[in-house]
């Protein structure tokens, strides 16, 4: 079985200082920004995916250690390993519980977006969704984003109710990253059932943050987009 030190060495062998500088700006790591203090090696996602796939036999306890890393790419690798383990039917409930217990380390939008639907959403599909409503009320922005992004799994299975309920809960949210996630998920609903998306928009578009609305109607014909934006 491949071990944790080997994974860390492989990631560090792919370091790009120039890319790290770009990523630090892109993920807003400056003082007062949402990713303040995050550390980047400068490893691109395809390489992280490749490394995570190679080390997908890592023990769960080691995946948790990796998730606690101060290095962004190591946390992403840990989450991708957890996704692999979950999708391989290895200890689904254990992976789900680990995820929820460690949300403070799932602390940027890419970490959430590449994992929430594949673990939380998939696990909850045929179970109570109460935890999603609890997360949607959290003071932690990343837990709120997990709540809406987890519903992507339901959307892909043509179940839209939870997405619409959580989107409604998050309408008063003040953070741009929540606006984007809500708008994105509404757009995904619309790709599968435009009538359902427009039913929501007709009720709430005037209460939506501009960013959320723009994301939600991005694929609409120009005339219809303008009608919503000027409403």
CA–CA dist 71, 4 (Å, integer): 14
- State pLDDT tens for residues 60-88: 999 999 999 999 999 999 999 999 999 98
The pLDDT score that the predictor gives to residue 134 is: 98
- Number of residues that make up the chain: 231
Whole-number Å distance between alpha carbons of 65 and 78: 8
Mean pLDDT for 126-131 is: 98
Q: CB of 176 within 8 A of CB of 203?
A: no
Question: Stretch 48-58: mean pLDDT, rounded?
Answer: 94
The closest alpha carbon to 155, from 178, 115, 184, belongs to 184
CA distance 110 to 76: 8
What mean pLDDT comes out for the span 16-41?
Answer: 95
Using CA atoms, how far apart are residues 49 and 107, in angstroms rounded to an integer? 18
- Residues near 164 by beta carbon (within 8 Å), at least 6 away in sequence: 189, 196, 200
Q: What is the 3-state secondary structure (H, E, C) of 163-226?
A: HHHHHHHCCCCCCHHHHHHHHHHHHHHHHHCHHHHHHHHHHHHHHCCHHHHHHHCCCCCHHHHH
Average pLDDT for residues 90-108, to the nearest whole number?
Answer: 95
Would you say the C-alpha torsion 152, 153, 158, 161 has a positive or negative sign?
A: negative
H/E element, 132 = helix 130-136
Percent of the chain with pLDDT over 90: 97
pLDDT tens digits, residue range 159-179? 999 999 999 999 999 999 999
Rounded Cα distance between 183 and 214, Å, is 7
Please name the residues in contact with 91: beta carbons below 8 A apart, sequence gap of 6 or more.
60, 85
Q: Which two tokens stand for residue 85?
A: 């383990």
**Residue 90 clears pLDDT 90, i.e. is over it:** no
220 — pLDDT class (breaks 50, 70, 90): very high
| Domain architecture of the chain: domains with CATH | 1-107 (1.25.10.90), 115-231 (1.25.10.90)
Q: Is the pLDDT of residue 89 over 90?
A: no
**Would you place residue 1 in the very low, low, confident or very high pLDDT band (cuts 50, 70, 90)?**
low
Q: At how many degrees (to 10) do helices 176-192 and 161-169 cross?
A: 150
The residue among 152, 153, 67, 155 whose CA lies nearest residue 111 is 67
């Amino acid at each position: 079985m491949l071990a944790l030190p080997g994974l860390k060495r492989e990631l560090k062998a792919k370091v790009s200082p120039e890319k790290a500088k770009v990523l630090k700006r892109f993920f807003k790591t400056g003082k007062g920004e949402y990713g303040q203090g995050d550390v980047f090696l400068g490893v691109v996602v395809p390489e992280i995916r490749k490394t995570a796939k190679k080390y997908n036999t890592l023990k769960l306890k080691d995946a948790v250690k990796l998730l606690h890393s101060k290095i962004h790419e190591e946390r992403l690798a840990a989450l991708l390993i957890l996704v692999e383990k979950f999708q391989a039917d290895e200890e689904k409930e254990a992976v789900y519980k680990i995820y929820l217990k460690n949300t403070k380390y799932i602390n940027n939008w890419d970490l959430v977006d590449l994992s929430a639907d594949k673990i939380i959403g998939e696990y909850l599909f045929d179970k109570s969704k109460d935890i999603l409503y609890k997360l949607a009320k959290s003071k932690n922005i990343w837990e709120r984003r997990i709540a809406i992004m987890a519903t992507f799994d339901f959307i892909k299975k043509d179940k839209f109710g939870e997405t619409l309920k959580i989107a409604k809960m998050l309408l008063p949210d003040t953070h741009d990253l929540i606006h984007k996630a809500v708008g994105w998920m509404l757009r995904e609903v619309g790709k599968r059932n435009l009538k359902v998306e427009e039913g929501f928009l007709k009720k709430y578009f005037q209460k939506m943050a501009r960013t959320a609305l723009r994301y939600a109607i991005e694929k609409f014909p120009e005339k219809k987009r303008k009608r919503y934006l000027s409403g």
